Structure 1
Amino acid sequence: MSTKVDSADDLPDKTGVYIMKNARDEVIYVGKSVSLKKRVKSYFKEDLDSPKTRVLMNQFHSLEYIITDTEKEALILEATLIKRHRPQYNVRLKDDKRYPYIKITRENYPRIIITRSISSDGSHYFGPFTDVGSVRKTLKFIKALFKVRDCKKMDGPCLNSQIDLCYAPCAEGISREDYQKIIDSIDLFFQGKYSRIISSLNKEMKEAAISHEFEKAGVLRDQINAIKDVMERQFVAFTNQLDQDIIAGSIDKKMAVMVVFSVREGKIMGKDDFLMAGVENSSPEEILSAFIKQYYANPRYIPGEIIIQYPVPDQKIIREWLSDLRGAAIKVTIPQKGHKYRLLQMASKNASVIRNQEKQVKNALIDLKKYLKLPHMPHIIEGFDVSNIAGKSAVGSMVQFQDAKPRKGKYRRYKLKTPGPDDYGMMQELITRRYQKIIEDGESPPDLILVDGGKGQLKVALNALKSLELVHIPVIGLAKEFEHVFIPQTAEPLILPRNSEALFLLQRIRDEAHRFAVSYHRKLRSKELEHSPLDDIKGVGSKRKMNLMRHFKDVEKIKKASLEEIMEVKGLNRQVAENIYYHFHPHSNK
């Protein structure tokens, strides 16, 4: 529990953590020191050297502290408090997105799941991972390979057990001891310790063979082969058995990107990248130190060696802390040559590429805010488009971009009910349905809406928002012909520079909305073709059916067509044309 003090003179001359707050009682900075009194007193000097400290002290209002027994405990507590409070003036991991973790639950028969929150519940966590798609694929592979349970409630054999994807512990299909061996193997898998898994499985397989449990031995053999296949597909390998994290950053005055390569058993197992916030007026050494403390404050595997670019503050204490977490001594290395140095350079180059990309994104958003005179930075942009052929199979699409990157999990598609052809009516229906749903669900609206089209499409979008009392959401239209931007209450379009990052971003969103709408429209048209009355006509296969639909656009027009008109369709002979005509006109004279 923290203790509040009125001045730095009231602080004890002991090791601990200090917490600075502003007038709104918000935590704005967390620090640690072996002497709380001496460290905090340095903030109250008249001639502060650091611009960052001067800005911090302008916001400072009150102070609290927590005493710890050791400097290592202070380091751990500092990292925990920074993670919890995300103070404005600390260098910290930027939480633009919540990264997924893989969790091995603490249950009698554990499950393997994806989670975005961590708790002190005794479960094992691996991550964070930045590519959720890869995490899902890995989890699918693991579940199929090791046949662990997937259901929340163990209330009887489920479908997975019937199709041989689960050992059915709920029906005593496997003993708790044998199931735990599987979980131990999965734990090793996520640590990248494939050789240890294979050694353990080989031992089990031989024991099973000796006991004439040939089915079990066969399953173990298949598991070994699958893991060997994973090992062979790793993309960089070294001759020695390395177990390392390579940490490098690309840093400028306003932005820092950190990249971590995970090397397990001599192979690069993965790459994660993270943005850092609060880096202004901080040295690269301070940023790297803050990253290491916050990165390993999350539950994760600690390798035997951590390779970094340069010495960092608290390096000795950090090494002791990580050694405690690992349960064995670790090394912190700053190489100057050799393969470790080359790995470090590779990580640094990756960080530089990402930082340049992030700067382009930031510039695009800044330009959009400026050109469109928006009240806020447009972090969330939603784009809309409609697709139909002569009003048939009308669909609408909504795509969402966050910080200039697509969020495909937020995409939505709609079957439109507006009779066509009426593109304006369809757009109004689309916008209305999307934001009616947002209101009902209590979601936050986007920072900007982009519709594919000019003045007309913009007008109907505005009318839809007005009917929902959402006129405060900025809306623009982007017309394809000249790439002009139309904004409300302005007769002339806004012409953005052709090489503008802002224009490129709007084009990407518009084109993605169009692609998503067209792909859905094609899917529906394809279904129509699959279940067409034409299927019942002798001589009409998929190719002739497609030619008929291309020529007439829909089945109703084919029904009304004369025999001569049907014969004009590419690929039809007279016999097939007659079959089609008389199928729809059975009472006509042949």
Structure 2
Amino acid sequence: MAAQPHLRPEPGSIPTSPGVYRFRDEHGRVIYVGKAKNLRSRLSSYFQDFAALHPRTQTMVATAADVDWTVVGTEVEALQLEYSWIKEYDPRFNVRYRDDKSYPYLAITLNEEFPRVQVMRGAKRRGVRYFGPYSHAWAIRETVDLLLRVFPVRTCSAGVFRRARSSGRPCLLGYIDKCSAPCVGRVDPDEHRRLAEEFCAFMAGDTGRFIRRLEQRMREAAAGEEYERAARLRDDVQALRTALEKQAVVLGEGTDCDVIAFAEDPLEAAAQVFYVRGGRIRGQRGWVVDKVEDVDTAQLVAQFLAQTYGAAEPGDDRGAAAGTAAAIPREVLVSAEPADAEAVAAWLSEHRGGRVDLRVPQRGDKRALLETVEQNARQALARHKTQRASDLTTRSRALADIQEALDLEQAPLRIECYDVSNLQGSHVVASMVVFEDGLARKSEYRRFSIRGSGTGAAEQNDVAAMAEVMTRRFTRYLEESQRSGELANMAGAEEGDGDGRAPAPRAAEAGAEDEAAHVTPRKFAYPPNLVVVDGGRPQVQAARRALDELGIDDVAVCGLAKRLEEVWLPDEEDPVILPRTSEGLYLLQRVRDEAHRFAITYHRQRRAKALTSSALDEVPGLGPARRTALLKHFGSVRRLAAASVQEISEVPGIGARTAETIAARLAGGRDTGGAENSPDEGGRGNGG
């Protein structure tokens, strides 16, 4: 894969103005649309150093055969044109948002002579007022059933309406006063439209007016001794209040905002939006996106805002009160601010016809709500991954993709992945996770405490630790395979079984020691088809050398580097780049992430145990009573390690000299702000 030499325009021919550019393939199809504050600077970045580009960007540039651009006056105009072109051309290298489900809306068909209330999905239609989206259709129907007591709007289909009109008899809802029965002329079109508009006003947040009006009528009826009518009005008020209770109050009254948050990994992202109108959550919606291009959260937010709000009609903010997805509210709260936040806010304001405040909340109720939305986004991404992994066809395709990409003789039905975790060379641990047929086998996970770790560069520690782990695991494999064979032969001889086969294996407790009485082979006796290490070429080569020294040549080895999702092979100078849409890449990523999670968990347990059990034990002259007093006073060893000598000496029973000894001893093991590392990151923090 290489850049197209003829594709690069002369630098002097590219203007420095804001604009929008298009990459086209050899057939003239638009494959990518982008905007830039400075076209020359942005386009030149694609042609400076092809090898330094992200693999997905490399693929796009290598596929392109031509590039053109259009100059505009401002960044806001660039946003508008970019949205129009993305919608028109649907370029395959642009990020595409798709619903993670088909969300239902509450819709009122104001474009009909007799408006109808119904549940609708799919594309929106002109002249229809939408509320939501909602998580479930039954939630809409419950709300509508309550509101029909006060606003008896038609809910029947066109066919039912025509039959009732021709027969002169209303449907059941008409008989129980949950429909004003315009089909038989009980109300005229104007009166029925007024009911529909009041229904919309209530759903849009204008609730107090209707409740106060009903309460006034109820008091008047009671004063006039019309007790049955007063009782019905009382029930109507209660129905409206019940409908309101179903919508959680999260912010102050009069607050209209959309709260947008993302959860992402290197390959995919999930977006969640809570629609808050009048301080209440009126709807919720989620999207899942494949990260076709190399984008961060800020870029995802900018593209999401353009694609989500681009369909809103300029100057039309009526939908903001309604809580529809395409409407633009007065305030948009996001988890990350776009790089060109001012231009995006101006573009949103122009479309809304009024000021739009775009910001990241830092504190208070809005920050708490954003954290809730972020949690929903993480759960949505996890559900999406689980659904994808549970599909048998998808798993089979993933294993076939890996087999083809790595040139394996057979599909890797058993994959073992290894990861090393350490904190600046201390408490070095490793993990082994097992996937069979594309699914995790947690009963066969193993944890390793690295014995040969020492000081030195993080990458050297990781490479040495990886070699040690591979040697220990596969030495056990050879030993247990030999032992299982011997025991099986003995059992076969005693039973008179000539084939010498061992009984079926049984599951073993993780970390349990072998016992001579066990006839069944342990899980270490089963070799994987593929070993995956979390790291680049140095870690892969260390793993391969360890296997070669043990004489094992029938186990394939590869590495997955986290930064660019490259697959490394021991004997190859260049990595294997799996297609972005490859299910095999997705499976390798899941295996690697699970190994990293398992290693980090064990590393944190080891570090916490070291801090709590041994740090104070090593202080000379410090007995159990004074250790207990110190921990009770400071709450934890970490806080004690951060305390000054004077603060330590304030603890009853601790003198100045003992306090100095404690501070000096804990200073050597104090957490200096490092983070757990994985082998491919060369000492950079990776988070758990």
Partner amino acid, structure 2, of 1:247:
I
Distance 1:28 1:372, change over 3 A: closer
Q: Which amino acid aligns with 1:91?
A: V
What is the match of residue 360 of structure 1? 386
**Farther-moved stretch of structure 1 (310-319 vs 43-52):** 43-52
Cα drift, residue 287 of structure 1: 0.9
CA positional deviation for 1:344: 1.6
Letter in 2 for 1:281: D
Greater Cα shift, 229-238 or 252-261? 229-238
Q: Alignment partner for residue 96 of structure 2, among 92, 106, 126?
A: 92
CA positional deviation for 1:368: 5.9
Residues 433-444 of structure 1 correspond to what in structure 2 (within 5 A)? none
The residue aligned with 1:194 is: 207
- Does the alignment pair 1:169 with 2:195? no
Q: Using the alignment, how far apart are the partners of 1:303 and 1:92 within structure 2?
A: 23
TM-score when normalising by structure 1: 0.53
Contact 1:16 1:66 in 2 (8 A): yes
**Secondary structure of the corresponding residue to residue 146 of structure 1:** coil
Q: Spell out the pairing of 1:150-165 with structure 2 (5 A cutoff).
A: 150-152=156-158, 155=162, 156=165, 157=168, 158-159=170-171, 160-165=173-178
How far apart are residue 347 of structure 1 and its match?
1.8
CA RMSD for the aligned pairs? 4.5
Q: Does 1:350 align with 2:384?
A: no
Any idea what the Cα deviations from partners look like across 1:305-361, whole Å, max 9, x if unmatched?
222222213322332333344443232232222222222222222222332333333
Give 1:180's aligned residue. Answer: 193
Counterpart for residue 118 of structure 1:
123
Matched, 1:312 2:349: no
**Are 2:350 and 1:336 aligned?**
no
Equivalent residue letter for 2:126: D
Structure 1 residues 63 and 368: CA distance shift in structure 2, 3 A: closer
The CA distance in 2 between the partners of 1:138 and 1:259, in whole Å, is 23
Distance in structure 1 (CA, Å) of the matches to 2:228 and 2:77 = 52
Q: Check if 1:289 corresponds to 2:289.
A: no
Larger RCO (CA within 8 A; separation ≥ 6)? 2
Secondary structure of the residue that 2:91 maps to in structure 1?
coil
Q: Please give the residue correspondences for 1:220-231 in structure 2 after superposition, counting only pairs within 5 Å.
A: 222-231=235-244
| Separation of aligned partners in 2, 1:87 and 1:210 | 68
**Pairing of 1:129-528 with structure 2 (within 5 A):** 129-143=134-148, 145-149=150-154, 150-152=156-158, 155=162, 156=165, 157=168, 158-159=170-171, 160-195=173-208, 197-198=210-211, 222-238=235-251, 241-278=254-291, 281-298=294-311, 300=324, 301-365=327-391, 369-370=395-396
Provide the TM-score with structure 2 as the length reference: 0.46
Q: 2:59 & 2:223 partners in 1: Cα distance?
A: 73
Identify if the C-alpha distance between structure 1 residues 340 and 282 changes in structure 2 by more than 3 Å, giving closer, same or farther.
same
In structure 1, C-alpha distance between the alignment counterparts of 2:210 and 2:71, rounded to whole Å: 44
Aligned to 1:58: 62
**What's the % identity of the aligned pairs?**
30
Larger Rg: 2
Q: Tell me, yes or no, if the aligned pair for 1:146 and 1:223 is still in contact at 8 Å.
A: no
How many corresponding residue pairs? 377
- Quote the Cα distance in structure 2 between the aligned partners of 1:271 and 1:123: 19
Structure 2 CA distance for aligned equivalents of residues 119 and 67 of structure 1: 33
How far residue 34 of structure 1 moved from its aligned partner, in angstroms, is: 5.4
> CA offsets, 1:156-198, max 9 Å, x none?
1541434433223344432444333322333234434433554
**Alpha-carbon contact 1:279-1:287 (below 8 Å) kept:** no
Partner of 2:460 in structure 1? none
Q: How many Å separate the matches in 2 of 1:372 and 1:29?
A: 27
1:283 CA drift (Å)? 0.7
Q: How far 1:286 sits from its partner (Å)?
A: 0.5
* Aligned mates of 1:125, 1:170 — CA distance in 2: 24
> In the alignment, is the contact (CA less than 8 A) between 1:15 and 1:70 conserved in 2?
yes
Q: Is the contact made by 1:256 and 1:279 (CA closer than 8 Å) also made in structure 2?
A: no
Q: Which residue of 1 aligns with 2:31?
A: 28
Q: Relative to 1, partners in 2 of residues 1:84 and 1:183: Cα closer, same or farther, differing over 3 Å?
A: farther
- Cα distance in 1, alignment partners of residues 347 and 264 from structure 2: 26
Change in Cα spacing, 1:217 to 1:33, as seen in structure 2 (3 Å) is farther
Paired residues of 1:249 and 1:348 also in contact (CA < 8 A): yes
